[in-house]
Structure 1
Amino acid sequence: MMTIWNHLVLNARHWPAQPAIIDASGDTERQLSRHELVQVVKVLATELTARGYEAIALYAGNSADWIVVDLACQLADVVLLPLPGFFSAGQIKHALDTVPVDAVLTDRPDYLRGLFTTLDEGERLSVNLQVMLNTADVEQPAADYQFADIAPLDKAARRRQLLPARTSKITFTSGSTGTPKGVCLSAEHLEKVASALDQSIAELNIQKHLCVLPLSTLLENIAGVYVPLLQGACIVIASEQQLGFNGAAGFSVPNFLNTITSLRPNSMILMPQLLQALVISCASGWQPPDSLTFLAVGGGSVNRMVLDKALKSGLPVYEGYGLSECGSVVALNIPGERRNGSLGKPLPHVKTRIIDGELQVADAAFLGYVGMPASWTSHHDETWVATGDLCTTDAEGYLHFQGRRKNLLVSSYGRNISPEWVEREISHDPRIAQVIVVGDSRPFCSALIAGQSTSVTDHQIQQMLDIANKRLPEYARVQRWVRLDAPLAPGTGSANDLMTTNGRPRRPEIERYFQAQIDALYVGSEEKKYAS
């Protein structure tokens, strides 16, 4: 990561007073200038080295301090394991059991202590939480960094057995299973992705990026921190409440809109659900600030009609694609090379090919999974990563997502159907909040459908479905459906979740949970085609 660090140091030398980070997440706004950021990172890196730490976990919300810790680990060559705040207690325990870290750096020591007491693992975390930085050590006051030291367990020897060489960061996937896998990434790989993104969007001259996703999310970590640092842009941090994330209370669109309007960022990274919220808000009269120049959307498939409406509403949206094993970003639509409905063209640092319909990626491969030596690769290997995603490439090199290989439905007539394809067609209308298509080993497709609100009637949903079906071949049309009271919410990491933590359907769990309703859709050919 020396290129990113060198850029930061150089910018601090030429423009020391310019803000590198604006942290609006607390009661009072806090700014770190470029000079102050360099100094506080050096202080923390020195302390990490003095303590003899080789690997730490970071369990904290979005803040300037999160970024400082990340950069300090890179500078001190300390392996960093970010723990997402949305992880369940079981997933946190799994991550810390899997990766032998020397300490946990956290802004929530009381919660962490209570968590491990609850899990009968109190001996793993000492209660001697110490102040990491004294505010007198740096010119800019910093928050108290607190460590929970792990009891000695011959961690260095275990790490050599469990982590591939050159591991710099470990990100745990939020896949379709309740137990995530630890993806090991090198500093060189992370920097290669960040540099490719920097090169791809350089002409936009982005000056201010608002972090919307958790910094523990690899996408926001690379594209929302490393890329702005390379560009000399300012990183803006807002609280979850300011961004509209209110936990069990749901998502507050007004809070999200007010924050965007007041902070006036140039760029943000959005999940598809957040983009749809902005599109609906624009249709209701909200005016996006003219400061916006780049809205990257990823983490799930986005309907082309939603993208078209976003552009017509003044939202400069660019869809992209990636996965943790390839450093989060593989392809991206960019200024001058944008095709709505596509995933964009592969970034310049990657190679792609399609084998039996499945996208494979090289020159951007991870080092391997924690504790799985069979997955480890050497520095000189040209490793092709099988993504599990069914894709096509058009004549101009744009990638087009068709669905997940493992999600493929095979009808009782032997037709192969990608549920994501059908779901995209039905989701054209923003009044549809969520669609989950079923029909494996069945004579036709059915769906679970949620409207954007209770004001959307069953009749309207049926009309929208009829329009979508006209765009689909007969074998892929949804013939019957059941209405959901509300969209299925992103999971918390529990084994019983119906959705992953980033909002993707866990299809086997959904089909088991709604088995009675789904079975009823296939009883009798004269049954009505929807149920509510």
Structure 2
Amino acid sequence: MHTSPEAFLARLVRHAVERPAGIALEDVHHRVTFAELPGEIETRRRRLHATDARRIALALDNGIDWALWDLALLQDERVAVPVPAFFSDAQRRHLVDAAGLDAWIGPGGEAHGFRRSSDPAIATRRVVSPPALHPGTTRITFTSGTSSSPKGVCLDATAPLTVATSIAEVVAPLAIERHLAMLPLSTLLENIGGLYVPLWLGAGTCLPGVATLGWQGASGFAPHQALAAIEAFRPHSLILVPQLLQALVDLTPRAPADLRFVAVGGARVAPTLLDRTRRGGWPVFEGYGLSECASVVCLNRPGEPARGVGRPLPHAEVRVDKEGEVWVRGATQLGYLGEPTPASSWHASGDLGHWAGDALVLKGRRREVFITAYGRNVDPQWVEGELCARPDIAQALVHGEALPTNRALLVPASPEVDDARLADTVAEVNAGLPDYARIHEWRRCAPFTPHNHQLTANGRLRRDVILAAHGDWLSVPTDIPQGGVLS
């Protein structure tokens, strides 16, 4: 199955005829109906044409304007490059140069050589010899790799829409009418699942600015504000990363009444957190995806028992090789920016997994699983998830490669959490773990954030960066006896 931009836009036109007064997009100030939507997209398409913009950075906050520019870029199949708000100036400069951008929509472009054009919303710059792109590229999503230079994933126009319609097929029985975008739209997962999926279904997307949702810079999150937004917009669906889900469930164990579908992904979700959400009636469905595969690959289904990260979506083929690595085909990338085209249509994910019937169960990342000095394999995400499922711990990194004892960096949930409480929490978690996975030494540390390059937009730890910053303690063997917990 493949979904073209023409099919997607024709669907929007059909909605405009069949439900003209239906709300397609809204934020705290404005609404756009399905009847108005095609005209709004066309207006922006003409503005892009007038400036002759070819490769465009989209650097706006969440809102109707972000959505309309994105849809206009999609209609014209120009190259859209969403810019994460947490990117540093150096990372933005890398993004501009690597993609050969000639236009910028949103604040901040002047710092990278863009100047006012005939259109007040579109800044431009002259690019004499833009870098070559993989043929068919219409979107470049920059992922936070293990260095300060993000990696560009090139996608064609069909891949994100194919994933969107695949997800729509799964959630259609829930009759979702309103989605609240809780993640930045520059995140591919929210762009596809929170904008394209609702629009395909004829549902509305609520797009308040990220500050309204409780985001405080790159590292802070105020769950009370997020809950207030959920109560104000009364969405039927949300997409959350595990940290956001944890914060909301800690605040309100019982699910808001209107929710029908909460997708959670981007990083491993602790089983204890999933158990808590289900006891509280939260309709949480864990999924799995990769930017290189246009986001979502597998998803647990409504009405089915939860198993691992669920079955592959209708568009996706998934196999697990003899070494346990997960491979994916269907809606995959054209290639990395500046690198050769992949030789195979199958993408090696780097994730380890196995099948539970027809559902995929993940077992960690190939390059993240560590082997202790006693030869035991440990998936750090498993242990980290159990630590972060406790209310006193906001973030954790676990390391034990070639060490006799496992170590953890712990970020307390608040300054009021003292070392004694952290020690008690670690002891409680250890009680539920096998001996080889237990934490024997730990230290408090500052938060892992996108700004310090220690966290991706999806909430994944950038382990190489953290290990480099804390390697003097994490990786050096000591004579601490087995079972000693240090602060």
TM range (shorter): over 0.9
Does the Cα contact within 8 Å between 1:211 and 1:236 map onto a contact in 2? yes
Alignment of 1:385 onto 2:341: no
Two-structure CA RMSD over aligned residues (Å)? 2.2
Distance in 2 of aligned mates of 1:214 and 1:503: 12
1:507 to 445, 453, 463: 463
Secondary structure in 1 matching 2:215 = coil
Task: Give the equivalent residue in structure 2 for 1:531.
Answer: 486
- For 1:238, what is the secondary structure of its paired residue? coil
Deviation at 1:217, TM superposition (A): 0.9
Residue identity in the other structure for 1:506: R
Q: Go from structure 1 to structure 2 and tell me whether the alpha carbon gap of 1:40 and 1:248 turns closer, same or farther (over 3 Å shift).
A: closer
Shift of 1:188: 1.4
SS in 1 for 2:245: helix
Q: CA deviation at 1:51?
A: 3.8
Change (3 A) 1:172 1:268: same
Equivalent-residue separation in structure 2 for 1:338 and 1:197 (angstroms): 18
Aligned twin of 1:302: 269
Matched residues in 1 for 2:436 and 2:482: separation? 19
For residues 212-241 of structure 1, the C-alpha deviation after alignment (integer angstroms, 9 at most, x for no partner) is: 111111101101011001100011111222
Answering whether residue 238 of structure 2 is matched by residue 268 of structure 1, we say yes
Query: For residue 347 of structure 1, what is the aligned residue in structure 2?
Result: 313
Amino acid of the structure 1 residue aligned with 2:278: L
Would you say the 8 A contact 2:23–2:33 is kept in 1?
yes
Q: Do the aligned partners of residues 249 and 475 (structure 1) sit closer, same or farther apart at CA in structure 2, a change above 3 Å counting?
A: closer
CA distance in 2, matches of 1:168, 1:401: 31
1:18 matched to which residue of 2? Answer: 22
**d(CA) in 2 for partners of 1:459 and 1:59?**
43
1:415 matched to 2:400: no
TM-score, structure 2 as length reference: 0.93
Q: Is the 8 A contact 1:391 1:401 kept in 2?
A: yes
* Equivalent position of 1:137 in the other structure: none
| Partners of 2:219 and 2:193 in 1: CA distance | 29
Check the 8 A contact 1:3/1:191 in 2, yes or no.
Answer: no
Mapped partners of 1:519, 1:45: distance in 2: 53
Question: What is aligned with 1:94?
Answer: 94
- Report the 3-state secondary structure (helix = DSSP H, G, I; strand = E; otherwise coil) of the residue aligned with 2:35: helix
1:477 aligns with 2:443: no
TM-score normalised per structure 1: 0.85
Establish whether residue 238 from structure 1 lines up as the match of residue 238 from structure 2.
Answer: no
Offset, 1:454: 4.8
- Residue 498 (structure 1) shift: 2.9
Q: By how many angstroms is 1:456 displaced?
A: 4.5
Is 1:365 the equivalent of 2:332? Answer: yes
Change (3 A) 1:429 1:152: closer
Question: Within the alignment, does 1:468 sit opposite 2:429 as a pair?
Answer: yes
Distance 1:249 1:88, change over 3 A: closer
Q: Are 1:339 and 1:398, in contact at CA under 8 Å, matched by a contact in 2? A: no
3-state SS, counterpart of residue 230 of structure 1: helix
Which residue of the partner structure matches residue 142 of structure 1?
Answer: none
Distance 1:241 1:424, change over 3 A: closer
Q: Cα offset for 1:405?
A: 1.0
Q: Which residue of 2 aligns with 1:83?
A: 83
CA 1:95–1:431: 2 relative to 1, 3 Å:
same
| TM-fit CA distance, 1:422 | 2.4
The aligned length equals 482
Unmatched 5+ stretches in structure 2: none
Question: 2:157 matched to which residue of 1?
Answer: 187
> Which amino acid in structure 2 is aligned with residue 148 of structure 1?
A
The one-character-per-residue Cα deviations of 1:450-472 (angstroms, maximum 9, x if unpaired) are 34335555455444434433443
The match for 1:112 is 109
Per-residue deviation, 1:436: 1.2
User: After superposition, what is the alpha-carbon deviation per residue over 1:381-417, rounded to whole angstroms, capped at 9, x for unaligned?
Assistant: x6110111111211x2221221111112122233332
In the alignment, structure 1 segments of 5+ residues that lack a partner are: 117-121, 133-145
**What amino acid does structure 1 have at the position aligned with 2:240?**
L
Structure having the higher Rg: 1
What amino acid sits opposite 1:524 in the alignment? D
Partner of 1:489: 448
The answer for the alignment partner of 1:165 in structure 2 is: 135
Contact 1:448 1:481 in 2 (8 A): yes
Question: Given that residues 261 and 288 in structure 1 are in contact (C-alpha distance below 8 angstroms), is that contact kept between their aligned partners in structure 2?
Answer: no
* 2:454 alignment partner, SS class: coil
1:97: how far off? 0.3
Identity over aligned pairs, percent: 38
